[in-house]
């Protein structure tokens, strides 16, 4: 397998073609962005940590029957993945009130939700990834009804798996973002699962161990990512 031309450069990852048209290489950078890239910075070692953390979570999900784009980790900053046709809808699963949900609804942060809330956002940086609903998705043809059912069902299943695994590591899964794509006629999970895309709090202290430390200028951003990696490694036998 040979890495070839750059296909896409995102906010924190680069995607390269390979000599196999069904596969590509994802390179994780140390770049950090927030507020639709209005705030930018660098977090030392973030690329390596997110690559390893995402690989861990994808392997966990695969072992529980959730198909992902991961083929294997290639090195410190790169993973080999199946090349997806990305569906332009992000899915956010919320278990505890935080972030934009608290702001939109005037709800204090940190309230456990009686049932998980699923939200959909249209992937468009120029528009600020607006909140949309099922009707928007179907009307504009971003996904079919069958695809949307798979996306919703998979998101719920991913939440169940991650909640259980992270609870064993004394972590609260507050909320997280998922992205999906089409591959060989199937809808499968893509992108990454890391402190960039999840809100993760210590279960006892509610200390934030995710990108909110960067968003809110709390400091200790690299240390928070390292702590998530440490717990995953130390608790690997439990998950």
Sign of CA pseudo-dihedral 221, 226, 232, 234: negative
User: For residue range 95-138, what is the model confidence (pLDDT) as tens digits?
Assistant: 999 999 999 999 999 999 999 999 999 999 899 999 999 999 99
User: For residue range 168-197, what is the model confidence (pLDDT) as tens digits?
Assistant: 999 999 999 999 999 999 999 999 999 999
Strand partners, 32: 41
pLDDT at position 237, please? 31
Are the CB atoms for 58 and 7 separated by under 8 Å? no
The single residue listed with the structure tokens 């949307």 is: 148
pLDDT at position 38, please? 74
Burial of 192 (0-12, 13-18, 19+ CB in 10 A): buried
The single residue listed with the structure tokens 């998922």 is: 178
Angle of helix 46-63 relative to helix 145-167, nearest 10 degrees? 110
Determine the longest span between alpha carbons in the chain, in angstroms: 51
CA dist 141 and 88 (Å) reads: 10
User: For residue range 33-67, what is the model confidence (pLDDT) as tens digits?
Assistant: 887 767 889 899 999 999 999 999 999 999 999 99
CA dist 183 and 130 (Å) reads: 25
- DSSP 3-state assignment of 60? helix
CA dist 153 and 91 (Å) reads: 11
107-127 exposure pattern, b = at least 16 Cβ within 10 A, e = fewer: eeeeeeeeebebbbbbeeeee
For residue 48, give the nearest of 192, 239, 220, 215 by alpha carbon. 192
Domains of the chain plus CATH, in order, are: 3-82 (3.30.200.20), 85-221 (3.30.470.20)
For residue 164, how many other CB atoms are within 10 A of its CB? 14
The pTM of this model reads 0.94
CA dist 95 and 182 (Å) reads: 27
Burial of 239 (0-12, 13-18, 19+ CB in 10 A): buried
The single residue listed with the structure tokens 């400091």 is: 219
C-alpha 134: how far from chain center: 21
- Strand 131-132 to 70-73 pairing: unpaired
Categorize the per-residue pLDDT at 238 as very low, low, confident or very high, splitting at 50, 70 and 90.
very low
The secondary structure of residue 16, as a DSSP letter, is E
For residue 51, how many other CB atoms are within 10 A of its CB? 23
| 209/235: higher pLDDT | 209
């Amino acid at each position: 397998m040979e890495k070839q031309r750059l296909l896409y450069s995102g906010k924190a990852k680069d995607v390269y073609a390979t000599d196999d048209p069904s596969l590509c290489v994802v390179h994780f950078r140390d770049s950090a962005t927030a507020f639709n890239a209005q705030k930018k910075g660098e977090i030392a070692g973030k690329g390596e940590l997110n690559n390893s953390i995402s690989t861990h979570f994808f392997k966990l999900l695969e072992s529980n029957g959730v198909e992902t784009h991961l083929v294997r980790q290639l090195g410190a900053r790169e993973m080999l993945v199946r090349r997806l046709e990305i569906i332009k809808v992000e899915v956010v699963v919320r278990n505890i009130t935080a972030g934009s949900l608290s702001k939109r609804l005037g709800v204090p942060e940190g309230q456990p939700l009686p049932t998980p809330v699923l939200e959909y956002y249209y992937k468009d940086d120029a528009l600020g990834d607006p909140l949309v609903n099922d009707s928007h998705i179907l009307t504009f043809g971003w996904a079919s009804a069958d695809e949307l059912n798979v996306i919703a069902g998979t998101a719920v299943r991913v939440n169940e798996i991650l909640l259980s695994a992270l609870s064993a590591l004394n972590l609260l899964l507050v909320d997280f973002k998922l992205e999906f794509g089409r591959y060989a006629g199937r809808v499968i999970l893509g992108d990454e699962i890391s402190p960039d895309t999840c809100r993760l709090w210590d279960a006892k202290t509610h200390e934030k161990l995710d990108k909110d430390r960067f968003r809110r200028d709390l400091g200790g951003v690299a240390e928070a990512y390292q702590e998530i990696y440490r717990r995953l490694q130390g608790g690997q036998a439990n998950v």
